Structure 1
Amino acid sequence: MSTLEETRRLGVETTGIEIVEESERTARPADLFWPWFAANVSVFGMSYAGFILYFGISFWQGVLVALVGIVVSFALCGVIAIAGKRGSAPTMVLSRAAFGVTGQKVPGVISWLVSIGWETFLAILAVLATTTVFTRLGWAAGTGTQVVATVLVAALIVAASVAGYHVIMTLQSWLTWITGAVTLVYVVLTVDEISWDAVTAVPSGSSQAVIGALVMVMTGFGLGWINIAADWSRYQSRDASGGAIVGWNTFGGAIAPCLLVVFGLALASSSPELLDGIAADPIGTLSTLLPDWFLVPFLLAAILALVSGAVLGIYSSGLTLLSLGVRIPRPAAAFVDGVILTLGTIYVVFFAEDFLGPFQSFLITLGVPLAAWAGIMIADIASRRRDYDEPALFDARGRYGAADVVSLGTLAAASLVGWGLVVNTFSDAASWNNWQGYLLGPLGLGGRDGAWAFANLGVLAALVIGFVVTFLARRGTILRQESGTVA
C-alpha cells in the first residue's frame, strides 16, 4: 500500500481497491467540498437549462426542477459516501456487503459503463468547445485542431487520474478557485442578455413534463456520480460524522449547479437561438455571448472544469475495473480507461452526427439499473449500525457470502420495471433503444405516445423498488452479518 509520503515522493498513488491504512485516514468531512465543487462548477451546468426547457416547461417550473433534482440527487450521493468512512474501500468494493463478493460484479459492470460514458462525454464537450472558440477567434479550427484538442484533453485527464487521490484532491482545490472565478465573470458579462419579458412568457408545461425534467436532472447530476461517491470518502477518519459527510458532499456538489442552471434557464428562455444551439455544442454555444477578449480564459476554464469532472470518473472507473477482478496496478487501470475515453471521444467528434440524442438515451438507459443499485445500497447503509468487516469484503466465504440472491433479484426486477416505464425519445439518433416503454400501455399510462411516456418514471420506480425491497427483505440478513454469522 502507498502512504502519503510515498505518494508525494513518487507522484503516483499505488493504493488500489485494498483497505486504506489507518495512518492515511486523516481527511475531514469539509475536505469533500473540493472535489465535488470543482467537478460541478463547469459552465456546462448552464447547458442543462436547455435540456430542461426542451421538456416544454416554464422558467419557474425549471427552477423548481433544478433545485429539487440537484440537491436531492447529491444528498443521495452523500448517503453512499457514508459507506466509505465505514469501510475505507472504494464504492464498488463496499457494495459487496449487499450483493456478495462475486455477485457484486453485476452492478460493477454497470458502474464501469456509466463512469466510462461520463468521462468520455466530458472529454467530448471539451474538444467541441475548443473548436468553436477557435473558430470565433479566427484561428485554425479544422480537423487538425480537433485532433490536437482530443490528444491534449485525454492526456490531462489520464495524467491526473494515474497520479491518484492525493494529487487529485490538491488539483481540485486549485481548480475550484480558477473555474469559479471565470464562471463568475461569465455571469457578469452575459447577465444583460436576459430578457425577463421573454423569460416570463414561456408557457407552463404538464406535470408529466415536470417529472420528466426532474428525473433527467437527477440522473445528469447526483445520480450520475452516485456509483463513485464512497471513493472520495474512504480516506475519512473513523470518527468523522456521517451527517457532516452527507452535508459537505451535498453542499459541494449542488451549490454551483443550482446557481448555474437557474442562470442558464434565464439565458435560454431569452433566446430561442441559444436554446437550439445548446443541443449541438453546449459550451461552444454559450461562448457566443462573450466578447473576444474573454474567449481564451473562458475556454481554459471550461476545459479545466470538464477535465476535473472526467478525472473523478476515470479514477473511479479504474477502481471499478480492479473490483471486477482485473489484476493490474491501479495506475494501469486508469490508463486503460483513458485509452477507451480517447477512442470514444474520437468516434463522437469525428464520426457521430448527433450529440444530444445518444447522450439522453444513454443517461436514461443506464440510469435505470444504476438507480436500482442506489436504492439497494442506500437501504443497506441505512440498515447497518456497525462498520464493515473489511477482510470479509474480499472473501467469498466470509460473512457477506459469494452472492446475495435477494439483492441481485431486486436489481433485475427493479431494472425490468424501470425500463418498462421509460421511452427512448430520440428514436432516430438512438434506434437501438426503441425496445423500452413496454409497461406504459398495460399500466394505463397512455402507451409510448402518451403524456407519461416523457416522465421517465422508470428511474424513480427503480430507485424506490430497490430501497423498499432491500429495507424490508434484507434486515434479517444484515443483522446476521453484523453479528458475525457467515452468509
Structure 2
Amino acid sequence: MSTDMRAQTQRLGVETTGIEIIDEADRTARPQDLFWPWFAANVSVFGISYAGFVLGFGISFWQAVLVTVVGVVVSFLLCGVIAIAGKRGSAPTMVLSRAAFGVTGQKVPGVVSWLTSIGWETFLAITATLATATIFRQLGWGGGTGTKIVACVVTATLIVLASVAGYHIIMRLQSWLTWITGIATVVYIALTAKDVNWAAVSAIPAGSTQAVVGALVLVMTGFGLGWINIAADWSRYQRRDASGSSIVAWNTFGGALAPVLLVVYGLLLAGSNDKLSKGIQSDPVGTLATILPTWFLVPFLVTAILALVSGAVLGIYSSGLTLLSLGVRIPRPRAALVDGVILTVGTIYVVFFADSFINPFQSFLITLGVPLASWAGIMIADIVARRRDYDEEALFDPRGVYGAWDWASIGILAATSVIGWGLVINLFADDASWNNWQGYLLGPLGLGGKGGAWAYANLGVLVALVLSFGLALVLRRGTVRRQEAGA
C-alpha cells in the first residue's frame, strides 16, 4: 500500500496494520478495555439457546448449572492466558505461536485456526439469516426466499464492513453493541420470565458422569475455546507495562459474565418447555422468539442480529490476520474482505441450496476442535514457561531464535490430535458419514466403544488440551530457555 493511500485510509478510520508489530506509540490500550469486545461478542440471546444443547445430554438443572459455570469461566480463563502473549509480542495470536512452532511450522496449526474461524463465523451468519426468516413468518411478513436474501445480504455486509475497518472502529462498535444488546437481553428476560416453570425444571432427572463431561466439553468449546485461537489479537495494543494478571482477569470477566447468566436463564426456559428445547436444535435464535409478544419481535430481531454480527466481526477480523500469517501477501483490509466473501458464499450455499447443513457443519467443526485444543495446550505451556517478552524480529525470520520448525511442538500436535480423535465420535453419523472414522480408541481403552456411555462425552478435546500442555511444558522447557538466552 502506498504512503498516500495508507494515510487516506487511516483518515477514514480504517486500520492498516496487518501482522506486523504494533508501534509503541499505538500501544495505548488498558486491560479494562478488553472487557468491551469480549462482552459484546458474548452478550447474545444465542447464549440462551445453548441451554437446549446442554440439557440435551440428559442432565439435571443443577448439573447443567455446574457445567455452565465451570465450562464458561475456565474456557475464557484459558483465553486470558493466551491474551498475555499479545502484550508480550504486539502481534496477532497465530504470529506469536511461531515462538512455539517455528516461523514456518506455525502454518500447520494456522490452517486449522483459519478454517475454524471461517466455519464459526459462517455459522453465526447462517443463524442470523434463519432467525430473520422465522421472526418474519411469525409476524406474517413472509419469511421465504426474498426475506432470506435480504437478511443474508444485510448480515454479510455488516460483518464485512466492520471487519475491514479494523481494530479501532471495532472497539468503538463493540462498546455501543454492549449496551444495545445488553438492554434488549434484559427486556427479553423480563418478558419471558413468566414462562419459567420451576416444578418442571426441578423435576429433570440427574444424568450420568459421562453426560456431565460431555456437556462440559460442549460448553467449553462453544464459548472460550471457540475464541482461543484469536485471544491475543485484541491484547496486542496493550501498553507494555500492563499487568498480565489484569489482562487475564478482564478477558475472563468480559467473556464469561454474559454467557454464565444467559445460559443459566436458558436452562430455566428450556427446562420448562420441551417444545422450546427441541426447537432450539434447528433454529437456535428464531425459536426463542416464539414465546415473545408481537410488539417486541422486531427489536428482538435487530438486537439478535447485531449480537451475532458482533461475534462474527471479531472472528473475521482475526481470520484475516491468520490468513496473512500463512504467507498471503495482501493488505489486512483486503484479507478481511477475502474471508468475508468466503463467509457470504458459504452462508448463501447453506441457506439456499444445502438440503442439510447444521449436522455436517457441526461434525466438521468438532473434528477441527481436537487439533485446535492441542494447539492451545502447547501455546499455553509456551506462555507459562517464558519469563521475557518475545523477540519480535525473530517472529518473522526463520533463521532467528525461533527457527523455521519446532519439531517437538509439531510432534506433540500430531500425537495428541491422533489420540484426541480416537476419543470422540461423529455425533452426526447419518448426515456426515465421511467422518465416521473417529472414536477408534474408545473400545481398546475399555470405554465401551462407539456405542458406550463415554462415546458422547467428547473426551478427546479435553485429553488433547491437557496432554499437549503437559508434554509441551516438559519437553520444550529447555527450548524456551535457549530461545530466551539467544534473544
TM-score category (smaller protein): over 0.9
The answer to whether the Cα contact below 8 Å between 2:16 and 2:333 also exists between their aligned partners in 1 is yes
* Shift of residue 359, structure 1, vs aligned partner: 4.2
Q: 1:321 aligns with which of 311, 320, 323?
A: 323
- 1:429 deviation in Å? 1.9
- Partners of 1:281 and 1:106 lie apart in 2 by 34
User: Paired residue for 1:334?
Assistant: 336
For 2:191, which of 189, 192, 195 is the aligned residue?
189
Cα distance in 1 for residues equivalent to 2:150 and 2:365: 28
Corresponding position of 1:258:
260
1:460 equivalent in alignment to 2:462:
yes
2:309 to 302, 307, 318: 307
Single out whichever of 247-256 and 344-353 deviates more from structure 2.
344-353
Q: Is 1:47 matched up with 2:49? A: yes
For 2:94 and 2:27, locate their aligned partners in 1 and report how far apart those are by CA, in whole Å. Answer: 19
Which residue of the partner structure matches residue 62 of structure 1? 64
Cα deviation for residue 138 of structure 1 reads 1.0
CA contact (8 A) 2:65 2:264 kept: yes
The 5 Å alignment of 1:148-167 reads: 148-167=150-169
Q: Shift of residue 426 of structure 1?
A: 1.2
**Partner residue of 1:198 out of 197, 200, 203:** 200
Q: TM-score, normalised by structure 2?
A: 0.98
| 402, 407, 410: which one aligns with 2:409 | 407
Spell out the pairing of 1:47-446 with structure 2 (5 A cutoff): 47-446=49-448
C-alpha separation between the residues in 2 aligned to 1:423 and 1:244? 38
1:197-234 CA distance string (max 9 Å, x none): 11011111100000001001100100000000000000
Task: Give the Cα separation in 2 of the matches to 1:239 and 1:107.
Answer: 30
**Hey, what's the Cα distance between the residues in 2 that align with 1:290 and 1:430?**
35
Partner of 1:478: 480
Deviations 1:319-368 (A, max 9, x none): 00000000011011001001110111112111233454234323321110
Percent of matched pairs sharing the same residue: 76
Please tell me the residue identity of whatever aligns with 2:31. Answer: P
Give how far 1:5 is off: 8.9
The DSSP-based 3-state class of the residue aligned with 2:104 is coil
Shift of 1:7: 6.4
TM normalised by structure 1 equals 0.98
Contact 2:18–2:321 (CA under 8 A) maintained in structure 1: yes
| Contact 1:279-1:356 at 8 Å conserved across structures | no
Checking the alignment, whether the CA contact within 8 Å between 1:90 and 1:234 is kept in structure 2 is: yes
Q: Matched residue of 2:280: which SS?
A: helix
Q: What CA distance in whole angstroms lies between the structure 1 residues aligned with 2:355 and 2:268?
A: 29
Q: Distance between the aligned counterparts of 1:271 and 1:357, measured in 2?
A: 23
| 8 A contact 2:10–2:16 mirrored in 1 | no
> Secondary structure, in 3 states, of the residue corresponding to 1:372?
helix
* Alpha-carbon contact 1:7-1:166 (below 8 Å) kept: no
Tell me how far apart the structure 2 counterparts of residues 482 and 327 of structure 1 sit (CA, whole Å): 29
Work out the CA distance in 1 between the residues paired with 2:372 and 2:228.
Answer: 8
> For the Cα contact (< 8 Å) 1:219–1:363, is it kept in 2?
no
SS in structure 2 at match of 1:387: coil
Report the residue type matching 2:93 in the other structure.
T
Contact 1:424-1:434 within 8 A present in 2 as well: yes
Letter in 2 for 1:303: I
SS, match of residue 403 in structure 1: coil
Q: Deviations over 1:79-117 (max 9, x none)?
A: 000000000000000000000000000000000001000
How many residue pairs were aligned?
485
Separation in structure 2 between the aligned mates of residue 118 and residue 364 of structure 1, nearest angstrom: 11
- Cα distance in 2 for partners of 1:78, 1:449 equals 36
- Partners in 2 of 1:262 and 1:95 — Cα distance? 35
Letter in 2 for 1:316: S
Query: Does the Cα contact within 8 Å between 1:317 and 1:334 map onto a contact in 2?
Result: yes
Alignment pair present for 1:38 and 2:45: no
Unaligned runs of 5+ in 1: none
* Cα distance in structure 2, aligned partners of 1:226 and 1:139: 40
- CA 1:48 to 1:359, structure 2 compared with 1: closer, same or farther past 3 Å? farther
Amino acid at match of 2:368: L
- The runs of 4+ residues in structure 1 deviating greater than 2 Å are 4-8, 351-360
Provide the C-alpha distance between the structure 2 equivalents of 1:421 and 1:123, rounded to a whole number of angstroms: 30
Are 1:61 and 1:204, in contact at CA under 8 Å, matched by a contact in 2?
Answer: yes
TM-aligned CA distance change 1:418 to 1:274, over 3 Å: same
Q: Deviations over 1:175-197 (max 9, x none)?
A: 00000000000000001101011
Partners of 2:185 and 2:475 in 1: CA distance: 47
Q: Distance in 2 between matches of 1:357 and 1:303?
A: 22
Pairwise CA RMSD of aligned residues?
Answer: 1.4
Structure 2: distance between partners of 1:327 and 1:360: 31
Equivalent-residue separation in structure 2 for 1:49 and 1:65 (angstroms): 11
CA contact (8 A) 1:103 1:402 kept: yes
